Chain A
Amino acid sequence: MTAALFAAPALLAAPPQQINVPSIAYGALSPLLIVFGVALAGVLVEAFCPAAYRRMVQIPLAGGGFVAALIAVILLQHKHEIVASGSVAVDGPALFLDGTILLLAIASLFLLAERSGGGSNALVADAAALPGTREAGELLASTGTVTEAYPLMSFSVAGMMLFGASNSLLTMFVALEVLSLPLYLMAGLARRRRLLSQEAALKYFLLGAFSSAFFLYGLAMVYGFAGSVELGAIHDAVGNTGRTDIFLYLGMAMLAIGLLFKLGAVPFHAWTPDVYQGAPTPVTAFMAAGTKVAAFGALLRTFYVAFGPMEWDWRPIMWVVAILTMVVGAVLAITQTDIKRMLAYSSVAHAGFILVAFTAGTVDSVEAVLFYLLTYGFSIIGAFAIVGLVRNPTGEANHLSSWAGLGRRAPFLAGTFTFFLLAFAGIPLTSGFMAKFYVFRAGVDGGAAGLVVIGVITSAVTAFFYVRVIILMYFVEPADDGTTVALPSAFASAAVGLGLAVTLVLGVVPAAVIDIAHNASTFARLGS
């Protein structure tokens, strides 16, 4: 401990002019800068554009920004460096995750823009109206929506991209907040069932703030140990000391809590079902796909780059977390009667499957996680897109009983949803199977065969509740409870179509994407 304090003065004594002019590699940072720029422009649109035109301006603005950023990511694909004074990594995993997040953001944007069934969409027209008042009743009928959702989403996307690319814990913390704060707000924007939505937003905010505090405290501890917040420097500090340090362990544990909270691992998963259920479905889709990608990116980078030399210390803990996450997610999902809550618990179980590869810590782990995140993200967005289309007179029909006989009402949508469910269960010829194979392979290779056995057993358990929905849709006669299936507009169809295409293609001919993931699996690191 004292040695760490003595190591620090070297940095403290550094001449201040070093901080004055950080060189910014604009090219390498261009994807991030584009998305931040679009988000800021979106705020200006809110301020200056007439309300009637805002939606029409915001959607192309955000969409164009995401596409431009995606092109920038593709152009940067071979970069492998640390930029912005050591705080941002532009390397394979970061770029792969950025690309994934942008693609998922485009699909989510389609959902957010969806306007089917009478011109209204899932978002409330005025978030400030109190539930139960007369204004709130009028809002339900109005066709307007909060267009602030689009810049909020852009900010969140930028935060997600930065989260997985941060090479310093401080940048990572800022990214964490940038990605989370807009999501807290967006969770409260549901048009219907306002109370539930606001409860979700509040819960998410309180628990999220709590986990951020953990992260920040952990950051301070690790800084106290290593004298730096830069991941490469922490790596060197961890590797060079042959002794244990309570600051390091406490700090690492607290950072882990912050990160595991974001990806919904047990025992930090309690927020997921409530937030998934309460948030407007497009926001749920975006959150389920995007946050998971970003959080796993940050987890991988923190533990593989900074705490890599301490693998033997954190692996046992992660074993336990992975087992708990798989088992609790799978078992609690069985008891759910609400489709969104079921998918929430299922996402917990999937986080557990990804943790199997992460825990194994082999050369293949990173690519397996990257591939899994990509496939899962598209399937879950497609699934939530369909959830948003099954309606009853009071809004979305999320109770499972309303899904009875959907196969007759809407054969194509039910068939697509079935396909997504089979992908979640890991049936071959879907991307879900390839992804599961990939992570379990990494697991066995890394000596985590025990985890893999628990993984396959919980997979069989998860199949139960996926198949139960299929039974409801196909083998049960429809009930006359006013459930209707909204005709999807071009936007929602695009989101569903994209999810379906990716799920099918990566299930049948995954070789090309596996190659990309494989080539993108090395982290850049400063230091020795």
Chain B
Amino acid sequence: MVHHDSFPWLTIIGLIPLGGALLIALVPAGRDLAVKRIALLVSLVTLGWTGVMTAQYDTAKAGYQFAQSTDWIKQFGVRYAVGTDGIGLVMILLVTVLVPVVVLASWHDSHGAPGRERPSSVRTFFVLVLSLETIMIGVFSSTDVFLFYVFFEAMLIPMYFLIGMFGGQHRSYASIKFLLYSFAGGMLMLAALIGLYIQSVHQFGTGTFNLFALEQLHLSSGLQDWLFLGFFVAFAIKAPLWPLHTWLPDAGAEAPIGGSVMLVCVLDKVGTFGFLRYCIPLFPDASKTFAPYVVALGVVGVLYGALVAMYQRDWKRLVSYTSVAHFGFIAMGIFAFTSQGGTGAVLYMVNHGLSTGALFLVVGFLVARKGHADIPSFGGLAKRAPLLSGLFLLAGLSSLALPGLNTFVSEFLVLVGSFTRYRVAAIVATTGIILAALYVLIAYQRTMHGPLKAGLEQVKDLDLREIAVIAPMLSLIVLLGVYPKPIIDIIKPSVAATYQQAHRTDPPPLATTAANDRTTNQDGAGQ
């Protein structure tokens, strides 16, 4: 079901940041403060509009809302078609919430990482961030697969420059690794996309990229497997799933903090979002075939990410590896094909954005004070900066899924949802929670407690701007931990619709099957 809307909500929300980026590009060089103010204002306006749109979203209606569509390249059957279901909507919300935070967080380090011999252009930084926001909104709201692909590839470029121009010491290496991994995946997806399109030409007579039309294609199982893999690998690199994750720690560690937040909390979500929006509805049978393998990769990712995170010396690398673990959970939830698992996974995508974002931001505060985030060189910071260390702990606890905080709800849902279908996987993944507690708390302890290390005497506590950066994130973390219902209400029908598309329904409750087993056994004994 697609509900068209005469008012171009999504297009306007997408164009606001782009307009801001153009405006900033016109500001004369050197007027950095004006640039920052414009960027903040534009991102807040975008957030406001998104809020208004969300209020209009009708959770009772199934399917895509705020839909619009117009011809783009007629000869290829390409249309500019946007629209969003609940999954897309929460992702757009996440983007628009994070961007103002990123802008504010980058107030003082938007001229490049500390220790650079020459500062980079502040203007360029905010142009990149805002154009990235436009592209992300486009990625999450496209309903034409070609349009999606265009955004999917286009988002590499601003991110690449954010890492490469504003990153740390090894930024060239990190940026090229990021770009090549993603581009290689994107190219495979292009081949699969063309294959899908040619099928539509054969079956419908005219080629189309319309997502809903392509879902109706009848694909032979062999072809479906190949096309699935083309899409899947692209998304698995982006997400990233083990073993395609190796670019993330480098990119996450080298990017400036604002860039890391955009990369890990928003860009990477496109991967898991793609599983749900494209892989499963377009290739239901292949998704079913490959689901056990994906779940297995997810579990390996959970354990691997947690174990490797434990041995990191650098906070940014540590947080990147925790993300590998979290993405393992998300992939597991999605491919468990249960409504709890799927809903939990989407909620996890939001929560991961908030909690990892918060963690990156507090790590950024450390970097802003000492120029690095090398764990062993810190210690005893809680004495000098109690507020920083307290909020750091809260962000860390959210990341390890403490009950009462947001991530717990989603992690619990994912585990329960996968347990009904993949018991062993769910049980093994549960140990990831314990490991998460270990790596977060140990690293926290070494940073904040113990005797005060030399060189940290002058460290100041958080200032007002920094509190303004972290406060909204932490409030959302607590709020969604206590009362996740509004978000779940938006997500749940869309997840159910997605699985219905793939003809997957929830397995019967375990209790009943167990009861049935017992009755059969008794019958057997009675005979």
Known: A425-B183, A460-B180, A511-B74. A471 touches B172 (CB 8 A): yes
Q: State A48–B197 Cα separation when bound (angstroms).
A: 61
Find A515's partner among B75, B164, B171, B179 (CB 8 Å cutoff).
B75
Minimum C-beta distance from B29 to chain A (A): 10
Q: State A427–B154 Cα separation when bound (angstroms).
A: 7
User: Which of B185-193, B337-345, B390-398 forms contacts with chain A?
Assistant: B185-193
Known: A471-B164, A471-B176, A518-B75. A428 touches B194 (CB 8 A): no
Find A467's partner among B150, B151, B154, B179 (CB 8 Å cutoff).
B179
Q: State A515–B75 Cα separation when bound (angstroms).
A: 7
Chain B interface, >50% SS class: helix
Find B190's partner among A456, A464, A510, A515 (CB 8 Å cutoff).
A456
- The answer to whether A452 touches B191, judged by C-beta atoms less than 8 angstroms apart, is yes
Find B194's partner among A452, A475, A477, A515 (CB 8 Å cutoff).
A452
Task: Tell me whether B184 is interfacial, beta carbon within 8 Å.
Answer: yes
Find A437's partner among B176, B183, B190 (CB 8 Å cutoff).
B190
Chain B residues, CB < 8 A from A78: none
Find A511's partner among B75, B164, B190, B194 (CB 8 Å cutoff).
B75
Task: Tell me whether B321 is interfacial, beta carbon within 8 Å.
Answer: no
Known: A468-B176, A475-B172. A453 touches B118 (CB 8 A): no
Q: State A437–B180 Cα separation when bound (angstroms).
A: 19
Task: Tell me whether B467 is interfacial, beta carbon within 8 Å.
Answer: no
Task: Tell me whether A491 is interfacial, beta carbon within 8 Å.
Answer: no
Chain B residues, CB < 8 A from A463: 179-180, 183-184
Minimum C-beta distance from A163 to chain B (A): 28
- The answer to whether A514 touches B194, judged by C-beta atoms less than 8 angstroms apart, is no
User: Which of A56-64, A281-289, A439-447 forms contacts with chain B?
Assistant: A439-447
- The answer to whether B154 touches A457, judged by C-beta atoms less than 8 angstroms apart, is no
- The answer to whether A475 touches B165, judged by C-beta atoms less than 8 angstroms apart, is yes
Task: Tell me whether A197 is interfacial, beta carbon within 8 Å.
Answer: no
Q: State A453–B175 Cα separation when bound (angstroms).
A: 25
Q: State A434–B191 Cα separation when bound (angstroms).
A: 14
- The answer to whether B180 touches A444, judged by C-beta atoms less than 8 angstroms apart, is no
Minimum C-beta distance from B432 to chain A (A): 32
- The answer to whether B172 touches A444, judged by C-beta atoms less than 8 angstroms apart, is no
Known: A445-B198, A477-B117. A460 touches B187 (CB 8 A): yes
Chain A residues, CB < 8 A from B160: 467
Q: State A463–B150 Cα separation when bound (angstroms).
A: 17
Task: Tell me whether A429 is interfacial, beta carbon within 8 Å.
Answer: yes
Q: State A301–B190 Cα separation when bound (angstroms).
A: 29
Q: Among residues 140 to 183 in chain B, which have CB atoms less than 8 Å away from a CB atom of chain A?
A: 149-151, 153-154, 156-157, 160-161, 164-165, 171-172, 175-176, 179-180, 183
The interface on chain B, measured as residues whose beta carbon lies within 8 A of the other chain's beta carbons, has a size of 35
Chain B residues, CB < 8 A from A477: 117-118
Minimum C-beta distance from A471 to chain B (A): 5
Minimum C-beta distance from B84 to chain A (A): 21
Task: Tell me whether A474 is interfacial, beta carbon within 8 Å.
Answer: yes
Task: Tell me whether B484 is interfacial, beta carbon within 8 Å.
Answer: no
- The answer to whether A471 touches B175, judged by C-beta atoms less than 8 angstroms apart, is yes
Find B197's partner among A441, A456, A467, A511 (CB 8 Å cutoff).
A441
Q: State A515–B184 Cα separation when bound (angstroms).
A: 30
- The answer to whether B183 touches A460, judged by C-beta atoms less than 8 angstroms apart, is yes
Task: Tell me whether B73 is interfacial, beta carbon within 8 Å.
Answer: yes
Q: State A516–B73 Cα separation when bound (angstroms).
A: 13
Q: State A498–B161 Cα separation when bound (angstroms).
A: 26
Chain A residues, CB < 8 A from B157: 422, 427
Task: Tell me whether B201 is interfacial, beta carbon within 8 Å.
Answer: yes
Minimum C-beta distance from A323 to chain B (A): 15
- The answer to whether A456 touches B180, judged by C-beta atoms less than 8 angstroms apart, is no
- The answer to whether A467 touches B165, judged by C-beta atoms less than 8 angstroms apart, is no
Q: State A204–B188 Cα separation when bound (angstroms).
A: 37
Chain B residues, CB < 8 A from A511: 72-75
Q: State A471–B191 Cα separation when bound (angstroms).
A: 27
Minimum C-beta distance from B80 to chain A (A): 11
Q: State A457–B149 Cα separation when bound (angstroms).
A: 17
Minimum C-beta distance from B251 to chain A (A): 14
Task: Tell me whether A198 is interfacial, beta carbon within 8 Å.
Answer: no
Minimum C-beta distance from A518 to chain B (A): 6
Q: State A445–B196 Cα separation when bound (angstroms).
A: 11
Q: State A477–B209 Cα separation when bound (angstroms).
A: 44
- The answer to whether A444 touches B153, judged by C-beta atoms less than 8 angstroms apart, is no
Q: Specify which of A433, A456, A474 lies most central, judged by the most chain B CB atoms within 10 Å of its CB.
A: A456
Task: Tell me whether B195 is interfacial, beta carbon within 8 Å.
Answer: yes
Chain B residues, CB < 8 A from A429: 150, 154
Known: A463-B183, A471-B176, A475-B164. A440 touches B117 (CB 8 A): no
A424-438 interface code vs B (CB 8 A; 1 in, 0 out): 011111000110110
Task: Tell me whether A121 is interfacial, beta carbon within 8 Å.
Answer: no
Known: A437-B190, A440-B191, A449-B195. A476 touches B183 (CB 8 A): no
Q: State A471–B171 Cα separation when bound (angstroms).
A: 10
- The answer to whether A457 touches B74, judged by C-beta atoms less than 8 angstroms apart, is no
Q: State A131–B160 Cα separation when bound (angstroms).
A: 45
- The answer to whether A456 touches B73, judged by C-beta atoms less than 8 angstroms apart, is no
Known: A427-B157, A474-B165. A464 touches B180 (CB 8 A): yes
Find B187's partner among A445, A459, A470 (CB 8 Å cutoff).
A459
Q: State A38–B149 Cα separation when bound (angstroms).
A: 47
Q: Among residues 107 to 158 in chain B, which have CB atoms less than 8 Å away from a CB atom of chain A?
A: 117-118, 149-151, 153-154, 156-157
- The answer to whether B195 touches A444, judged by C-beta atoms less than 8 angstroms apart, is yes
A469-484 interface code vs B (CB 8 A; 1 in, 0 out): 0110011110000000
Q: Specify which of B150, B153, B190, B195 lies most central, judged by the most chain A CB atoms within 10 Å of its CB.
A: B190
- The answer to whether A453 touches B75, judged by C-beta atoms less than 8 angstroms apart, is no
Find B172's partner among A445, A460, A476 (CB 8 Å cutoff).
A476
Instruction: Name the residue on B nearest A507 (C-beta).
Output: B150
Q: State A449–B151 Cα separation when bound (angstroms).
A: 24
Minimum C-beta distance from A204 to chain B (A): 34
Known: A453-B191, A456-B190, A467-B180. A514 touches B153 (CB 8 A): no
Find B175's partner among A449, A464, A475 (CB 8 Å cutoff).
A475
- The answer to whether A428 touches B153, judged by C-beta atoms less than 8 angstroms apart, is yes
Q: State A234–B164 Cα separation when bound (angstroms).
A: 57
Q: State A515–B201 Cα separation when bound (angstroms).
A: 18
Q: State A436–B191 Cα separation when bound (angstroms).
A: 11
| 3 A-B pairs with the lowest CB-CB distances in the bound complex, closest first | A456-B187, A460-B184, A428-B150
21 residue pairs of the A-B complex, CB under 8 angstroms, read: A422-B157, A425-B183, A427-B153, A428-B151, A428-B153, A429-B154, A437-B194, A440-B194, A441-B198, A444-B194, A444-B195, A444-B197, A452-B191, A463-B180, A474-B165, A475-B165, A475-B172, A475-B175, A514-B75, A514-B76, A518-B75
* 11 further contact pairs, Cβ within 8 A, besides A444-B197, A456-B191: A426-B187, A428-B151, A433-B153, A443-B194, A456-B188, A460-B180, A467-B180, A475-B172, A477-B118, A510-B73, A511-B74
